[in-house]
Amino acid sequence: MPELINTKRSDPYEEYFKKIGTNEFFHSFAKGGVAIGLRIPIKEVKDIGFAIKKANEAGFNARVDDVYGYLEIAKYGYRKEDDQKVVEELKKLAKEISKEDYLEHIEKLNFQTNQKSPNANNQNELVGAAFNELEALCEVLNIPIVSSAEKLKKLNPDSTVIFASEHGNSETEPYMIKEILNQKLNSSINNGKKIILGFEFYSDKYFVDLLNDPKRNLNDDTFNELLALMLLGKLLLG
């Protein structure tokens, strides 16, 4: 368990967020849309209940992190064309829900994007903000985070692997998943255990049986029709 970090009231906000292992602010363009979010120390929020209500009304997700003491207000996956509008909405919301001390600080925050817009050659990029969030959480939990099957290979072969997918990356992901499963298969030969693949797909018994039947799972008409409708389909068939 990570040590809870003692923060002082006198810590500047930058120092405070550095101590708790996350960023105060994120704003990035990526293939899945734009993401923006602000984390406000709870002690700087006028009223948490009111803040969450206001955030939801304004179309933002609101999440309280009780462990490290901040309220996160964020919006993910919106259109680039709407960015300026969303920035203004976030600033307005932050001012409405913050105490006096933090208001001045908001004025000084640079709400410009901290990551470049993706181009056609940058198809493997995760939503930047989400990746930052993943990294911060992994750091807090002491969980290693790797970006390739080769790096995974250097870690404990018996690890539980959680693959954070973009759900649209049909160029790289299928090969990575295949490589990871091959690694696990080699490991299972050594330890004699069956590999369990937890998979984000419908959990009806029909699909459970189908997915586990290699004679049927790529030839079933219903399954293939469903895959054709899903963003995930191209990835699975990749």
Q: Which residues ranging from 13 to 52 are in contact with another protein (CB under 8 A)? A: none
Minimum Å gap between C-beta 122 and another protein is 11
Q: Which residues ranging from 184 to 203 are in contact with another protein (CB under 8 A)? A: 184-185, 187-188, 191, 193-203
Q: What is the DSSP letter of 98?
A: B
Burial 129-157, CB ≥16 within 10 A → b, else e: bbbbbbebebebeeeeeeeebeebeeeee
The two tokens of residue 70 are 């901040």
CA 161 to CA 140: how far, in whole Å? 18
Are the C-beta atoms of residues 140 and 21 closer than 8 Å to each other?
yes
Minimum Å gap between C-beta 121 and another protein is 14
3-state secondary structure of 154: coil
State which residue, 76 or 78, has the beta carbon closest to another protein.
76
The two tokens of residue 189 are 């030969």
Q: Which of 33, 114, 211, 238 binds another protein (CB under 8 A)?
A: 211
Number of residues in contact with another protein, rule: CB under 8 A? Answer: 69
Residues lying near another protein in the complex (CB under 8 A): 1-2, 63, 65-67, 76, 124-127, 130-131, 133-134, 137-138, 140-149, 152, 155-156, 158-167, 169, 172-173, 176-177, 180-181, 184-185, 187-188, 191, 193-204, 207-208, 211-212, 226
